[in-house]
Structure formats: C-alpha cells, structure tokens
C-alpha cells in the first residue's frame, strides 16, 4: 500500500459527504444483503455506543474507474466529477443502512435475496424500559405499540421536531437523546491509497475471511475482474421460476465450472475456473461465446424438473441434481430429450432422489460420473447409466409420504 490513514467521522456529517457521490461500490463487493433485523441490530449498537467496526475505503485515482459497479447497490451513484475514487471495500452494508436512515425520507429497497427492506418501517420506542427492545421493524403499527413508536427516518431528519408529535416530556427527552447518540456517533474509517487492484482484492478476501465470512460464490465474484460473474449468476436466477431462484449461487458456479471442463468440485474447482478465465484470453473468449447457451440450459433444466415431478424448489431432493440436468441441456444445445434419453433421465432422477447419491462419500464420484453421463447423453443422444443404489426401507416410506403430500 502506498499510504494508510484513519479518520473518525460523525454520522451527522456523513449526509452531505455521501450525497456528493464521493463513494463508489466496486465490482468485487457484494450487493446489499442485510435484512430488517440487521438494521435494528445496528441501530441498537449505535444507541448503546457499542463498536460497529471500521469502514475500509480504497482511495485511488480515476484510472481504476472501470472497477465501478453501477447497479446492485443502494447508495447514491459515484459522481465522476470527483477527482478521486473512494471504493468501499468493507462496510458497504453499514454505510448503506446509515444513509437510508439519515437521508430524511422513507425508502424501500430490495436486498440480494429479493426481500424488501422498508426503512420507513424502522421505529424507536421512547417508552421502552431497560429490558425491552428499543428498535422495531413494523410494516403496520397496531395494538399497544400504536402511538408509542417513532420512525427513525423522522427522528434523524432535519426538522425532526415538526415530524414528531404526541409524546410527553419524558419521551421527548429520550427521543432527543437517541437522536444525539446516533448522529453524534463517530464511525472509524480506514483509507488505503493504492493504484494496484490486486492488493485491494487480496485485502477484501482476507478481511471477509477473518471477520464476516464470504462464501465461495462471493470469493469468486471478488477475484473475477475480467468477467462480471455476479451479473451472470443473476441472469441465471432471473431465468428461474417456481422458487428455483433460491438455488445456491455456489451450485450455479459449480455447474459452470463443470461445463467448462473442471473436474475439481467445490471451492477448488470454482477457484480453478476463475483463475483460468482471468489468465487465459482464449478460455475467456470461449466462455463468452458459450455463455448464452449455458445460461439458457439452467432455465431449461429447471423447467424439466417440473416435468419429472418437482413442482417447485421445495420438492427438489438435492441441488446438484439441477447441475446434472443443466449439463445435459448444455451439451444437447437446448434440444428436448428423445424418448429413450428421457427414460434414462427418469431412471437417473429417481435413483438419485431415493438413494441420496449426492451425499456423504458418494458426492464426488457420483456427481462427476453423472456429469460425464449428462455430457454423453446430451451430445450423442445415448449413454451408459450405471447405478448401484442401496435404499434403506425407511427412505422408501419417506419418499412415499412425500409423494402423497405432493399429490394433495
């Protein structure tokens, strides 16, 4: 790093700072993923004057503007009129929450899971006793809390007294105390000056590995600089319906890795795929050519699962089953299976569902073997399906019960 320095900034001073568009969200960062419960927990920490961690900022010049992500975040967009770029490497979630609470108006946003977070429905209860919760998330305020709760966006806004009425002197004193504690809270910022992107990527991965762990998918998104892999995964999720958009992103990346010829599974296989796509222009060009076909294969596979008797994600016996079917449709160029191929896929499906073949010691050999089977069946229309499945009697009863539930 060329230089590292520190600043503590009061929350009330952040409003103008953020509005000027000095902050940018880099492609390696996750989208906004917090839910309403985390918003309330953060406010509780501020109210009690607990530490909330540091905000890590990558301070660089405009030659790195290409790392800017222009969507999937809820902060004001970076203003290119600024002479420098302040990329948020760690703390985007906290800063996003603070901005949406102090900006003076109620906003609704969707997090990375598709859930709505309504910042206007975050309330402070000035009448709460010592042992009660002070912050609540309520889309409707009814019952004994009606008339007691005050919206935090109103409490922290300029001209807050005009927005808050109907509370006694004691409650107003607590409201003013809460406002002062939050707006006067000093957030600790660490600024790292460098023009080297790889230094920043390594810092991001290390920070999230030591603190709030990122999963395998987020690690891959952070390491991929030449492909917008996060956006590609979201394209796949947009193709799904019937709840299949809840498929783990790691499963999607694992499928992509297998389609590109990787034979390692899990984090090793995904990391190897990202390394190859980052370092080899020919592999990246090949992937970009095949991506539209692979993207459609995911959606076709999810649709075919419905034909096999899986009406929605809840009834999917195992997520890697989507991987196998996606590989089949990828290698078949999206063509419908013949009657013979469909019969083989049905045999594979039920043997895998009943036999729980993608669990325990069988996970690696069975998934790799099925990937090869799917590739052969998709490309040649025929393949050998070798299945040795031992099914405990209780498993058959369980499947029978689940099938009966599905019929109703």
- Once rounded to an integer, what is the mean pLDDT over residues 87-106? 89
Q: What is the mean pLDDT of the chain?
A: 84
DSSP tag of 211: S
The answer to whether the CB of 59 falls within 8 A of the CB of 65 is no
- The dihedrals phi and psi of 211, each to the nearest 5 degrees, come to -110, -115
Statement: the pTM of the whole predicted model exceeds 0.85: no
Amino acid 273: pLDDT: 93
Average pLDDT rounded to a whole number, residues 330-348: 92
Confidence at residue 39, expressed as pLDDT on a 0 to 100 scale: 94
Going by pLDDT thresholds of 50, 70 and 90, the confidence category of residue 79 is confident
370/385 Cα distance (integer angstroms)? 8
Q: What was the pLDDT predicted at 400?
A: 47
Give the tokens for residue 51. Answer: 């530490």
Closest to 221 measured CA to CA, from 286, 262, 260, 277:
277
pLDDT for the residue numbered 115: 87
Distance CA 74, CA 345 (A): 43
Q: What is the dihedral of CA 191, 195, 199, 200, to 10 degrees?
A: 50
Residues 336-348 have a mean pLDDT of 92
Confidence of residue 118 (pLDDT cuts 50, 70, 90): very high
For position 333, what pLDDT does the model report? 92
Most confidently modeled range among 107-116, 255-264, 354-363: 255-264
Confidence of residue 203 (pLDDT cuts 50, 70, 90): low
- Answer whether residue 73 shows pLDDT above 90: no
Decide if pLDDT at 197 tops 60: yes
pLDDT at 404 over 50: no
| Residue of 245, 277, 256 whose CA lies nearest to 114 | 245
Report which of residues 139 and 331 the model is more confident about: 331
Share of the chain above pLDDT 70, in %: 85
Residues 6+ apart with CB under 8 A from 96: 32, 34, 73, 74, 75
The residue-averaged pLDDT of 290-319 equals: 92
User: Given this model, what pLDDT does residue 83 score?
Assistant: 79
Predicted pLDDT of residue 281: 92
CB neighbours of residue 196 within 10 Å: 13
Average pLDDT over residues 212-233: 77
- Between 219 and 293, whose confidence is greater? 293
Q: Between these two residues, 196 and 321, which has the higher pLDDT value?
A: 321
Look at residue 65 in the predicted model and tell me its pLDDT. 65
Q: Give Cα separations from 229 to 30, 218, 226, 312 (angstroms).
A: 12, 10, 9, 26
Domains of the chain by residue range: 3-193, 215-407
Handedness of CA 240, 241, 246, 251 (dihedral sign): negative
CA neighbours within 13 Å on the CB side: how many for 381? 5
For residue range 137-196, what is the model confidence (pLDDT) as tens digits? Answer: 987 776 666 778 899 999 999 889 888 877 888 999 999 999 999 999 999 998 887 766
**pLDDT beyond 60 at 116:** yes
User: pLDDT category, 70, cuts 50, 70, 90?
Assistant: low
């Amino acid at each position: 790093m060329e230089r590292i320095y520190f600043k503590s900034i009061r929350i009330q001073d952040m409003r103008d700072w953020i509005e000027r568009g000095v902050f940018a969200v880099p492609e390696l960062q996750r989208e906004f993923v917090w839910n309403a419960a985390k918003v309330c927990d953060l406010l509780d920490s501020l109210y009690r004057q607990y530490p909330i961690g540091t905000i890590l900022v990558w301070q660089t010049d405009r030659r790195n503007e290409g790392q800017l992500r222009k969507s999937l975040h809820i902060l004001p967009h970076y203003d290119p009129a600024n002479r420098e770029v302040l990329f948020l490497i760690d703390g985007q979630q906290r800063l996003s929450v603070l901005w949406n609470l102090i900006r003076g108006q109620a906003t609704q946003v969707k997090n990375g899971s598709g859930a709505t977070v309504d910042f206007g429905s975050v309330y402070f209860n000035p009448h709460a006793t010592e042992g009660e919760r002070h912050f609540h998330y309520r889309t409707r305020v009814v019952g004994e809390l009606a008339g007691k709760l005050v919206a935090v966006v109103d409490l922290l806004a300029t001209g807050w007294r005009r927005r808050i009425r109907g509370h006694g002197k004691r409650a107003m004193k607590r409201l003013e105390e809460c406002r002062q504690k939050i707006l006067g809270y000093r957030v600790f910022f660490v600024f790292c000056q460098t023009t080297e992107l790889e230094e920043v990527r390594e810092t991001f991965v290390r920070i999230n590995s030591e603190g709030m762990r990122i999963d395998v998918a987020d690690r891959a998104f952070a390491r991929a600089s030449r492909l917008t892999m996060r956006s590609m995964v979201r394209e796949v999720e947009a193709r799904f319906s019937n709840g299949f958009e809840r498929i783990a992103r790691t499963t999607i990346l694992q499928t992509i890795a297998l389609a590109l010829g990787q034979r390692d599974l899990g984090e090793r296989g995904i990391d190897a795929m990202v390394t190859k796509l980052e370092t080899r222009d020919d592999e990246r060009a090949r992937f970009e050519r095949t991506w539209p076909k692979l993207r459609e294969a995911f959606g076709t596979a999810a649709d075919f699962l419905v034909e096999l008797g899986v009406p929605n994600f809840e009834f999917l016996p195992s997520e890697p089953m989507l991987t196998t079917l996606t590989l089949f449709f990828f290698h078949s160029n999206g063509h419908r299976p013949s009657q013979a191929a469909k019969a083989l896929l049905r045999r594979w499906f039920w043997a895998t569902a009943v036999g729980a073949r993608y669990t325990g010691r069988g996970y690696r050999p069975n998934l790799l073997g099925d990937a090869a089977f799917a590739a052969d069946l998709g490309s040649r229309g025929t393949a050998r399906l070798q299945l040795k499945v031992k099914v405990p009697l209780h498993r058959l009863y369980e499947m029978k019960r689940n099938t009966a539930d599905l019929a109703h």
